[in-house]
Amino acid sequence: MKKLLITPLCLYFGGFMLAQENSQIEQLDSVTVVTKVPIAEKNSGKVIAKITRETIENNKGKSVAQLINEVSGIEINGSRGNVGQNLGYFVRGGRNRQVVIMIDGVQLNDPSQIQNDYDLRLIPTSEIDHIEIIKGASSVLYGSGAATAVISISTKKVSEKTIAASFTSAVGTNSASEEDDSSRTLEEFTNAVSINGSLKKFFYRASFSNKYVNGLSAIAAPEGEARFEADVFNRFDGRINLGYRFSKNVSMSQFFSFDTFKAGFDNFDYTDAEHLSITRQRKTGGHFEWKYKKGIYVFNDNYSWIEREVVSSFPTKYDSKSYTLDNYIHHRFSEKISLLVGFNFNTSRFNSFTIPFGETDFAQDVYEDTAKFNTVDPYLNLTYISSFGLQLNAGARLNLHSVYNSHWVYNINPSYVFDIGKNTLKVLASYSTAYITPSLFQLYDPLYGNEALQPEENTTMEGGLEFMTENNFRISTVYFNRNEENFIDFVLLDPETYSYSYQNISETFEANGVEVEISKNFGEKLTASANYTNTQPDKRFALRIPEHKVNASIGYRPVASTFFGLSYQYNSERSDSYFNPTTFETETVILKSYGLLDATASSKVYHNVTVFATVSNILNEEYEELYRYQTLGRNFRAGFSLEF
C-alpha cells in the first residue's frame, strides 16, 4: 500500500501532456474551487457557501465546527458545549454518514467510527485557509456518500519569501452560564506556530499547535447539586508539507502529519465520571498537478492510520487504516464545453478490542482481515456554458464495491442567468442521487453488526433563485426535497433482553426545507449578512434539528487595520430522546429555543502584530444542545499573533 503514496499514477496519466507544459490554464476573475475546477460563480448551478480566510481571521478562537455551524442549512450539534463533545453533522435532515469531509481535495473517513465519518475535532483552525461547502447530493464528483453536503477544507499555502513565520497565542475562560463572572478563571489555552517559504523551486511548510481546555463538565449536574468535575480536552497536532515546482505548470508535494487529542466524558446515565476518550491519527499524502493549454490534471492521495481508545467502565480500543486517491483530468474543448473525467479509489479496514466479562485483558473481537472493503469509482461530469445565459452540469459515477454490486449515481444541474442591467438573476435546479454503503462497524461489530445490511439510497431535488447587484448586494433562496430509502437504524430486537442491531428500515423517509441567504457591503467599512433555514424532516429524523434557524452578523472596519463584529444565532425548539434508567424506556423531550450573541474585535497594532478579543454568549443565555449536556455561557478570549 505504501508504494501508492509515491503517486506513480500521476506520472502515467500526466505523461501525454508533456508537450504542452508551457501553457497555463486560464483563471477567471470570480471563481470557486469546490467543483474541482475554477468556474465563475454565476456559472455555478449551486449556491456555494465559502468561509474565507478573512472570516476565519476575524473569528480567531472559534473551532472548525463553530465556523461551519453558522452556514445556512447546517447544524453541528455539540459545537457549543464541552470541547471534547462528539459532534453531530445534521444537514438537510441527514446525519454524519451523509456528509463528506475533504481536506486539500481528498475525502477523509474513519473506518472504525459507527458512521464512517471524519472527526472535525482533529482539524486545527490555525492551519485553514478557507472552507467551501456545497449542499445537496454531490456524489458524482465527491463520492457516493455525499448525500447532503460536502465540506471542503483547504490548508494555508506557502509564502513566496525564503522564510516566513507566524505565532498565535490565546487564553480564555470556559464556563457554563450558571457560573458568576467573578468566578470565571482562565481555562482555555491555544498556541500555534508555523514556518514556511520557497527556495527557488522547492517549497515547504511546517506547523504545530496545541489546545488545552478545562473548566466545563460534559454533563450538567442536576439543579441544586454541586457542579460535576470538569472534563479536560487536550489536543496536539503537527504537519510538514514539502514540495517542488518543476515549472510554472507542474508541481508536486507530500505531507506528513500527526494529531492527538484526549477528551474527558461522563456516564451516559447522566452521572459524573472520569472517563477518557483518546484519539491518535497519523496521515501522509501527496498532491500533483499538471496544467496544460486546455486543462489540468490533478492527483491527490491520503493514507490515514487512526487509533482510538475509550477508558471507561466498558473499555474499548479501535485502530483503522484507510487509503484514498482521487485523480482527474479537466479538459476544455471550447469556451462553452468542458469535461471532467476522474477515478477514485478507497480501501478501509479496522480492528477492535474489548475486555470480556470477568476478564482483565483486552481481547480482539473484530479483525481487519474480515472488516474491510474497497471501492473503485470512475466518474465524469460535463459542463456547458452558453452565450445566452444557460448553464448545464451533468454527470455520472459508477461505484464498484468489494462487498456490494456496482451502482450508478448521477446528477443533472441546469441554471439560467438573466442580466438585468448591471445586475444578475440566476435560476437554478438540480436532481441528484446518492448511494451510502453501511460502515464496517455496522456490518461487523460482534454485538450490533449485521452483515445482511443493504446500502441506503438518497434522491435530492433543488430549486432556487439568486440575485446579485453591482453594488455588492446578494440574496438567494433554495428549496430542497430529499428522499431516503433503506435507512439504516439502530433497532431494538428483543425488549426482554434489550438486544439491539443495525437494520434497514422499509419505509421511505423525506426531508424538505428552505434556505435563504442575504448579504450587503455598505462601502468598504460596513458589511452585513444573514441566513435563515427551515428544515422539515420526518419525525424519526427530527431529533436535535431546529425547524427554524437564523444567523446574522455585522462587521465594521473603521480603518484597514481594525475590525469589530457582532453575530447572533437563533435556534428554535428541538426534540431529543434519552434512555430512562428508571422505566427502561426511551423518552422524548423538547429542548427550548435559544439565541446567542457574540462579539469580536481585532486590530493590527504594529505591521506584524495583531491583537484580538472575543466575548461569546454575551447575554449569558442558558440552553441545551443535547438533553442534560452542559453548554457554554458568557466567556472571554484574548490573544495576539505575530508574523515575520
Cβ atoms of 631 and 176 within 8 Å: the answer is: yes
The CATH number of the domain holding residue 581 is 2.40.170.20
Range in 44-53, 295-304, 407-416, 634-643 with the lowest mean pLDDT: 44-53
pLDDT digits (tens, 9 = 90+) for 450-484: 999 999 999 999 999 999 998 889 999 999 999 99
| DSSP one-letter string for 175-238 | --TTS-GGG--EEEEEEEEEEEEEETTEEEEEEEEEEEE-S--SBPPPTTSPPPPP--EEEEEE
- Provide the β-strand partners of residue 553: 529, 567
Using the structure block, give the residue that is written with the C-alpha cell 452585513: 528
C-alpha span between 235 and 261 (Å, rounded): 4
Percentage of the chain surpassing pLDDT 90?
A: 75
C-alpha span between 570 and 37 (Å, rounded): 35
- Domain tally for the chain? 1
Range in 9-13, 55-59, 240-244, 293-297 with the lowest mean pLDDT: 9-13
Q: If you average pLDDT over residues 190-196, what whole number do you get?
A: 96
Is the pLDDT reported for residue 327 higher than 60?
yes
Q: If you average pLDDT over residues 492-510, what whole number do you get?
A: 87
The pLDDT of residue 15 is: 35
C-alpha to C-alpha distances, 456 to 124, 209, 502, 540, 580, nearest whole angstrom: 32, 39, 13, 16, 30
Positive/negative CA dihedral, 428, 37, 456, 503: negative
Cβ atoms of 461 and 428 within 8 Å: the answer is: no
Q: If you average pLDDT over residues 18-47, what whole number do you get?
A: 53
C-alpha span between 94 and 88 (Å, rounded): 10
The pLDDT of residue 145 is: 81
Q: If you average pLDDT over residues 147-174, what whole number do you get?
A: 94
Q: If you average pLDDT over residues 351-356, what whole number do you get?
A: 94
> Which of 48, 241, 62, 82 is closest to 151 using CA atoms?
48
Is the pLDDT reported for residue 12 higher than 80?
no
C-alpha span between 482 and 93 (Å, rounded): 8
Range in 115-119, 287-291, 423-427 with the lowest mean pLDDT: 115-119
Q: How many CB atoms lie within 10 A of CB 285?
A: 25
Q: What is the mean pLDDT of the chain?
A: 89
Is the pLDDT reported for residue 34 higher than 70?
no
The pLDDT of residue 163 is: 96
Positive/negative CA dihedral, 118, 97, 138, 43: negative
Domain range for 38: 2-643
C-alpha span between 219 and 214 (Å, rounded): 14
pLDDT digits (tens, 9 = 90+) for 93-111: 998 999 999 999 888 989 9
Using the structure block, give the residue that is written with the C-alpha cell 440574496: 475
Residue 629 DSSP one-character state: B
Q: Of the segments 1-10, 84-93, 491-500, which one has the largest average pLDDT value?
A: 84-93
The pLDDT of residue 559 is: 95
Is the pLDDT reported for residue 211 higher than 90?
yes
Q: If you average pLDDT over residues 245-258, what whole number do you get?
A: 96
Percentage of the chain surpassing pLDDT 70?
A: 94
The pLDDT of residue 35 is: 62
> Which of 47, 144, 132, 89 is closest to 411 using CA atoms?
144
Confidence of residue 224 (pLDDT cuts 50, 70, 90): confident
> Which of 39, 62, 3, 102 is closest to 616 using CA atoms?
62
Is the pLDDT reported for residue 128 higher than 70?
yes
C-alpha span between 86 and 395 (Å, rounded): 35
Q: Helix or strand or coil: residue 19?
A: helix
Confidence of residue 139 (pLDDT cuts 50, 70, 90): confident
